[in-house]
Structure 1
Amino acid sequence: MTGIISLSFAILVVIAVVFPAAKALSLNYHDHTCPQLEFAVSKAVKKAILNDKTVPAALLRMHFHDCFIRGCDASVLLESKGKNQAEKDGPPNISLHAFYVIDDAKKAVEALCPGVVSCADILALAARDAVAMYIFACSVVSYLYTFVLVWRSHMGGSKGRKDGRISKASETRRLPAPTFNISQLQQNFAQRGLSVEDLVALSGGHTLGFAHCSSFQNRIHNFNASFDVDPTLHSSFASSLRSVCPAHNKVRNAGSALDSTSTTFDNAYYKLLLQGKSIFSSDQSLLTTPKTKALVSKYASSKEEFDKQFVKSMIRMSSITGGQEIRRDCKLVN
């Protein structure tokens, strides 16, 4: 254990230097103004996970979708009002869920220190804890323990985000689509200061969760003029997808798990990708350039390398800031 702690400290130092938090963020931002913040958020997340194993994937995706629009400003949590449709009602966000976890955490935090902590900070902490708790639940002792320590102490520890006042469904088109090719993905990530390494590592978040038929229908029906099914798909896998998502599917919640271990945070996503068993076109596109394919192979063969880069990339993404206020209610501007 001493070795693990020493390694954790060493990695923390490296990450703190190479990936400093954004100027507005601080590791000890709420140490004096809300010292019980992290406990309150963790408690709300733990309670939710005990009742619903889909919560980790939901919170991770929610945080990603928030940060990619106007920065990590909790604009994804705002409700539509009047003629304005908010982000959560945009097509890519219709399937987001577990908003109640953030609401519960916010209520607990407000009871401790009213008007101090942003919804954006709470969402970042919740996403971190959701994945970290699930990792610990699934793996008693693992190399990932080291990196979760780093993630908890640096990424989630960096606080001071503000909440945004603008949320528009029309802006959800800025999110990377499941049909994107590699050029579109690289451009989309680069616009947010994220690298190719971040792109491949954050795509590994698809190790958790579920995809509806509409998000991969393009690969299994009328793919192009020559093929009905995407030829890069493994034949038996394509058949299984077609069986749950027929051409004129009318089952509302039909779809497929994103990988074979969709409630476990691991590197199965990359292994399946190399076997032609990925869900989205965007996943498959990671094999179309030498650099991204090499990274996929690296993470497929080493869970430790994936874990390490995933934490670094989450730190980068979570440091994209925005917002102007501290909301009293995460669903409404002040």
Structure 2
Amino acid sequence: MATLRILLLLFLQLAVLFFAVEPANAQGLKLDFYKKTCTRAESIVRKTTTQFISRAPTLAAPLLRMHFHDCFVRGCDGSVLLNSTKNNQAEKDAIPNQSLRGYQVIDAAKTAVERVCPGVVSCADILALVARDAVLTIKGPFWDVPTGRRDGTVSRGSEALANLPSPFANITQLKSSFLRKGLSAKDLAVLSGGHTIGTSHCSSFTNRLYNFTGKGDTDPSFDPNYIVQLKKKCNPGDVTSLVQMDPGSFKIFDQDYYTLVVKSRGLFQSDAALLDDSQTKAYVKLQSTTQRSTFLKDFSNSMVKMGKIQVLTGKAGEIRKRCSLVN
């Protein structure tokens, strides 16, 4: 009888724990979040994204970067999409985000979804889905995107400057920046591999070519032959010219980025910095040499992890009617 009472008590305790935890889980992210409320949401976003990327494949990289830049400031809440106002400079107008492009893809996807399910699907979720679908359209990896994010109502340019990893950062700064977002040194090495696609303005790395320590010198960790090539494309003070981050295959999502880093040809100081830590260096070397690279699978896993940073769910935030404006 005593044993029965103990078992009954344990059952009641577990029941209380379940009901205490379950609503919190129900408010979080999950796959097919819109299955009942907007069945076609994800297919509409994918169709819209595919149409844009099929015409302009180079949009894939900035859209991926836009999702990354959104999540690192206030979490994945779509705050990077908000316009500045008379009294506030928004994230999109901060220096690190001024080269972002592809907002028209987000707006088109939002408009298409609103036509079918008004006021249901968040801009934050649309951005997360567009980033995945853009990469997939250029034959990059697929990853599951749990949905249920809500949109933030605050966007400050100063927070973008404070939170986004700089292309001039050293390994200590990079690891610290990622750790603050719940991401590991491996995630840092993996997500840096996103530089396998896209281009960069010369201004993000010309200090390595012309004035690395303020004495008119070059970065000694940079391949000198590559420096000669880059100087032909980028003059000192050049802020408009673009350079491929992964020359020859900047439209292809592959592990070639790691080969470049090992050869001291990573474009940014933040790329070269991956060789200054034992864990990130080991990952870079592994992906640059193995015939059976784990990069695509690792990238998928790290993107899922990144997409969960400080999300707003449940009744927090809002569902914006237009992605560039709060309701």
TM-score range, shorter chain: 0.7 to 0.9
Q: 1:325 aligns with which of 309, 318, 326?
A: 318
- Which residue is 1:284 aligned to? 272
Instruction: Look up the SS of the partner of 1:211 in the other structure.
Output: strand
Q: Distance in 2 between matches of 1:193 and 1:57?
A: 23
- Which residue is 1:104 aligned to? 108
Q: 1:48 aligns with which of 52, 55, 68?
A: 52
Q: 2:132 aligns with which of 112, 128, 151?
A: 128
- Which residue is 2:243 aligned to? 256
- How far apart are residue 224 of structure 1 and its match? 2.0
Q: Distance in 1 between matches of 2:214 and 2:201?
A: 24
Please state if 1:271 is matched with 2:259. Answer: yes
Instruction: Look up the SS of the partner of 2:148 in the other structure.
Output: coil
- Which residue is 2:72 aligned to? 68
Q: Distance in 1 between matches of 2:67 and 2:180?
A: 18
Instruction: Look up the SS of the partner of 2:138 in the other structure.
Output: helix
- Which residue is 1:177 aligned to? 166
Q: Residues 230 and 330 from structure 1, CA distance in 2 versus in 1: closer, same or farther, beyond 3 angstroms?
A: same
Instruction: Look up the SS of the partner of 2:294 in the other structure.
Output: helix
Instruction: Look up the SS of the partner of 1:304 in the other structure.
Output: coil
% same residue: 46
- Which residue is 2:34 aligned to? 30
Q: Distance in 2 between matches of 1:235 and 1:309?
A: 31
- Which amino acid is the alignment partner of residue 111 of structure 1? R
Q: Under a length normalisation based on structure 2, what TM-score does the superposition of the two structures give? A: 0.87
Q: Give the paired residue count.
A: 296
Q: Residues 248 and 73 from structure 1, CA distance in 2 versus in 1: closer, same or farther, beyond 3 angstroms?
A: closer
- How far apart are residue 304 of structure 1 and its match? 3.2
Q: 1:189 aligns with which of 175, 178, 185?
A: 178
- Which residue is 2:13 aligned to? none
- Which residue is 2:230 aligned to? 241
Q: Is the 8 A contact 2:196 2:250 kept in 1?
A: yes
- Which amino acid is the alignment partner of residue 327 of structure 1? R
Q: Is the 8 A contact 1:117 1:326 kept in 2?
A: yes
1:251-274 deviations in Å (ceiling 9; x for gaps): x52131111211110011100111
Instruction: Look up the SS of the partner of 2:259 in the other structure.
Output: helix
Consecutive unaligned residues in structure 1, runs of 5 or more? 1-20, 137-143
Consecutive unaligned residues in structure 2, runs of 5 or more? 1-24
Q: Is the 8 A contact 2:255 2:293 kept in 1?
A: no
- Which amino acid is the alignment partner of residue 197 of structure 2? L
- How far apart are residue 23 of structure 1 and its match? 6.2
Q: 1:165 aligns with which of 132, 153, 164?
A: 153
- Which amino acid is the alignment partner of residue 53 of structure 1? P
Instruction: Look up the SS of the partner of 2:182 in the other structure.
Output: coil
Q: Is the 8 A contact 1:116 1:326 kept in 2?
A: yes
- Which residue is 1:6 aligned to? none
Instruction: Look up the SS of the partner of 1:69 in the other structure.
Output: coil
Q: Is the 8 A contact 2:203 2:237 kept in 1?
A: no
Q: Distance in 1 between matches of 2:89 and 2:72?
A: 18
- How far apart are residue 22 of structure 1 and its match? 10
Q: Distance in 2 between matches of 1:248 and 1:319?
A: 38
Q: Distance in 2 between matches of 1:268 and 1:23?
A: 40
Deviates more, 1:172-181 or 1:295-304: 295-304
- Which residue is 1:211 aligned to? 200
1:120-152 deviations in Å (ceiling 9; x for gaps): 00000000011011116xxxxxxx6xxx2xx1x
Q: Is the 8 A contact 2:89 2:156 kept in 1?
A: yes
- How far apart are residue 55 of structure 1 and its match? 1.2
- How far apart are residue 95 of structure 1 and its match? 0.4
- Which amino acid is the alignment partner of residue 243 of structure 2? S
- Which residue is 1:13 aligned to? none
Q: Is the 8 A contact 2:54 2:137 kept in 1?
A: no
- Which residue is 1:295 aligned to? 283
- How far apart are residue 246 of structure 1 and its match? 1.4
CA RMSD in angstroms, aligned pairs only:
1.6
Instruction: Look up the SS of the partner of 1:48 in the other structure.
Output: helix
- Which residue is 1:91 aligned to? 95
- How far apart are residue 39 of structure 1 and its match? 1.1
Q: Is the 8 A contact 1:22 1:319 kept in 2?
A: no
Instruction: Look up the SS of the partner of 1:30 in the other structure.
Output: coil
